[in-house]
Structure 1
Amino acid sequence: MVTVASPDTWVYALRLPHDPRAARVARMTVRAALGGHGMREVLDAVELLTSELVTNAYLHTKGPASLRLTALGDGRLRVGVWDSHPYIPAPFAKPPGDRLPPVPVGGESGRGLYLVQEYADWWGGWPLGRGAGKLLWFEVSGRRGAVVRAGL
């Protein structure tokens, strides 16, 4: 008996070293995977949010990170980023309905995670316990990609 996966579901995983170029490698991977699977409508949002999460993993940890792209079907994509630090930042520590306030105009950080609540449909985070770090994830669908391209 042969098992055939649905062509609209797939998974890619990438281990990223603790390197300042990791966000660029993650963006290139996202662009290649989504472009290859015809998911251009979510490309801009996924590339932006992935870059933010991988950059935060580099800035706030001393170890490697991992990126996982999972097509869930119906044009939905889940992106997970694992790192070695157990702290789960907002908005990942709150339900998607709980909104963070905008970053003050003069603020020097905090905009990246704010973008998650603006451009992702769902998000969350799990502590992995026993020194294993955490997993932060977000999901997007085709309707959100159009918003990012329009600059809204």
Structure 2
Amino acid sequence: MPESETWDYTLYIPNDPRAVTVCRRTLRTILTLHELPGLADTAELLATELVSNAVRHTKGPAALRVRRSPQGLVWIGAWDTDPAPPPPPQPLGQVVDLEEGRGLGLVTACADYWGWQPSARFGDRGKYVWCELAAA
């Protein structure tokens, strides 16, 4: 696969907790088909956290977006219908035994970079929370 190959996939999902599994499996398939299976475990973890937050904390539809930049970065983002910024990530040492609250801490620990931005889909205001992984 050429270093400069780019691609961009978006999976629109309903507000349904089962959609997290669909996103995770779809992401693994995308990375495998693009000869990036070494990123799959980390990418699945990050996508699970981002999409879980989108489904758990909003009532509307959501989306998973996965793309590769010409620089070789794999970008994973989740869109949801809540325009409010995500809460600041908690250090993993403070939330390791909790059932909730680890998501963005895991993203911060595992991704090369992450952020969020206001965005709109389906005619609704919302936000994208995204992260980057180096593919090379």
Q: Same fold (TM over 0.5)?
A: yes
> Could you list the per-position Cα deviations for residues 26-71 of structure 1 after superposition, in whole angstroms to 9, with x for gaps in the alignment?
0011011000000112111111110111111111001110111111
CA shift, 1:112, in A, is 1.6
Q: Distance in 1 between matches of 2:8 and 2:125?
A: 22
Residue 104 (structure 2) aligns with: 113
Contact 2:58–2:82 at 8 Å: present in 1 too?
yes
Matches within 5 A, 1:54-65: 54-65=51-62
Q: 1:31 pairs with 25, 28, 31, which one?
A: 28
2:36 aligned partner, one-letter code? M
Count of aligned pairs between the two proteins: 132
User: Residues 131 and 37 (structure 1 numbering): CA distance in 2 closer, same or farther, change over 3 Å?
Assistant: closer
- Structure 1 residue ranges without an equivalent (≥5): 1-5, 92-98, 144-152
1:28 aligned partner, one-letter code? R
Q: Distance in 2 between matches of 1:9 and 1:30?
A: 15
| Larger strand percent | 2
Matches within 5 A, 1:57-136: 57-91=54-88, 100-102=90-92, 103-128=94-119, 132-136=125-129
Q: Provide the secondary structure at the position in 2 that maps to 1:128.
A: strand
CA shift, 1:22, in A, is 0.7
Aligned-residue sequence identity (percent) comes to 44
Contact 1:16–1:66 at 8 Å: present in 2 too?
yes
Q: Provide the secondary structure at the position in 2 that maps to 1:123.
A: strand
- Structure 2 residue ranges without an equivalent (≥5): none
User: Residues 132 and 76 (structure 1 numbering): CA distance in 2 closer, same or farther, change over 3 Å?
Assistant: same
Residue 22 (structure 1) aligns with: 19
Higher-Rg structure is 1
Q: Distance in 1 between matches of 2:90 and 2:100?
A: 14
Contact 1:13–1:66 at 8 Å: present in 2 too?
yes
CA shift, 1:131, in A, is 5.3
CA shift, 1:74, in A, is 4.3
Q: In the alignment, does 2:3 pair up with 1:10?
A: no
TM-score (norm 2): 0.85
